[in-house]
Amino acid sequence: MAHTAVKIRTPRTSSKSWDAVARWYSGWAGPNGSRYHRRLAIPALLELLAPGRGERVLDLGSGHGVLAPHLAQRGVLVTGVDLSPRLISIARRLHGHFARFIVADVTRLESLNVLSAAAFDAATFLLSIQDIDPLEGALKSAAWALRTGGRLVIVMTHPCFRVPRQSGWGWDEKRALRFRRVDRYLSRLAVPMQPYDGRRRGATRSYHRPLEAYVEGLAANGLVIDAIRELPAAELEAGPHARGFRTAACREIPLFMGLRAVKR
Ligand SMILES: C[S@@+](CC[C@H](N)C(=O)[O-])C[C@H]1O[C@@H](n2cnc3c(N)ncnc32)[C@H](O)[C@@H]1O
C-alpha cells in the first residue's frame, strides 16, 4: 500500500469490506502472495505455527487465500474467512481445491452461526489484523474458535516502527546513517489507505495500535504469548544511501512482527 498525506482519523470505526480493491489487491499480490508474503511473512507464520497433518486451521482475514496452498500442502484442513465477497470468490476460484472459504465478519464470529466454538487447532491472521477493526472483537473471535491448547499466530507490520503515515526513513548527513523516524505511536489511528493504482483512495483503512493493545487484547481472551519474531525486510526494501540503508532495514529495524499465543 502507498501512503499519502491525507487526514488521519482516530478510531471509532469498524472494518470496511475490501471489495472496492479486491481486483487490485489480488492482482498486486498474485495468487501465491507478494514477495513480502513469500520471502518473509508466510515463512515466519509457518515457522511459528508448525502445522501438523490433519490439523484444522482458521485463516482470519484470508483475502484471496494466499496462505491456503502452503497449509494444505502440509496436510492441514483450512478454512479461510473474509469480509469481502469478491476476495472470497477469487479465493474459491484460485484455491478452492485447497480450502473452504467463507464470507463473514471475523470481529463477531460467535454471533454469526457460521462456525462452531472450539472447532480449530490453530488460527492465523496473515497481514490482516491491522486491517480489521475492532481488534478486541477479532481476538475474541479467534479465542472462541480455538480449542484449549490451540495456537493463534499473527504476522503483521511491526506496530512500533511502521506506523502508517506516521513513520518513515530519514538520512542523517552528519553521521551518514539511515534512521527510522516515528512521529506517533501510543495513539490508536484509523488511516485511510490508497492502493498503488491510485483510484480508490480511502476504500480501506489500516488500524494502528500500540503493542500493548495486542498483548492486553490477547491476555484478556486467555491467549498467552509464547513466541515472538521481529523480521527485518532483508533486501526487499530499496532506497538511496544503500549502505546505511542495508544496516537499518536489513538488520536493525524490523518490517514485520510475528506473535504466537496459546489458548489457556
Ligand atoms: C491486507 S488484506 C490481507 C489478506 C490476506 N491475509 C493476505 O495476506 O493476502 C486484509 C484483509 O482483511 C480483511 N478484513 C478486514 N476486516 C475484516 C473483517 N471484519 N472480517 C473479515 N475480514 C476482514 C479484508 O477484506 C482483507 O482481505
Residue 50 lies in a domain: yes
Confidence label for 5 from pLDDT (cuts 50, 70 and 90): very low
pLDDT at residue 8 greater than cutoff 80: no
pLDDT value for 62: 98
CATH assignment of the domain containing 183:
3.40.50.150
Q: Is residue 1 part of a domain?
A: no
> In this predicted structure, what is the pLDDT of residue 32?
93
Domain span at 92: 19-263
Widest distance between CA atoms in the chain: 60
Give the pLDDT mean for 120-144. Answer: 98
β pairing state of 256-263 and 223-231 = antiparallel
Does any ligand 1 atom lie closer than 6 A to the CB of residue 98? no
Task: Tell me how many domains the chain contains.
Answer: 1
Q: Using CA positions, which residue lies closest to atom 27 of ligand 1?
A: 63
Task: Say yes or no to pLDDT of 17 above 90.
Answer: no
Least confident of 2-11, 52-61, 96-105, 169-178: 2-11
Percent of the chain with pLDDT over 70: 86
What gap in Å lies between CA 64 and CA 85, rounded to an integer? 10
Mean pLDDT confidence for 255-260: 98
Give the pLDDT mean for 214-231.
98
Please work out whether the CB of residue 131 comes within 6 Å of at least one atom of ligand 1: yes
Q: Is the CB of 126 under 6 A from ligand 1?
A: yes
How do 146-157 and 120-126 pair as beta strands?
A: parallel
Asked if residue 247 is part of any domain, the answer here is yes
Nearest to 139 by CA among 231, 224, 257: 224
Please state, for a pLDDT cut of 90, what percent of the chain lies above it: 76
**1 pLDDT exceeds 50?**
no
**pLDDT of res. 202:** 56
Look at residue 237 and tell me if it is in a domain.
yes
Answer whether residue 212 is part of any domain. Answer: yes
pLDDT over 90 at 195, yes or no: no
Q: What is the pLDDT of residues 131-141, one digit of tens each?
A: 999 999 999 99
Element (H, E) at 244: helix 242-245
Tell me, yes or no, whether 9 lies in a domain. no
Among protein residues, the one whose CA lies closest to atom 15 of ligand 1: 132
Q: H/E element holding 94?
A: helix 85-95
CA distance between the termini of the chain: 36
pTM, two decimal places: 0.92
Give me ligand 1 centre to Cα 242, in Å. Answer: 33
What are the pLDDT digits (tens) for 25-70?
Answer: 999 999 999 999 999 999 999 999 999 999 999 999 999 999 999 9
Give yes or no for residue 206 CB within 6 A of ligand 1.
no
Minimum-distance ligand 1 atom for the alpha carbon of 62 = 6
Q: Is residue 97 part of a domain?
A: yes
Residue 6 maps to a domain? no
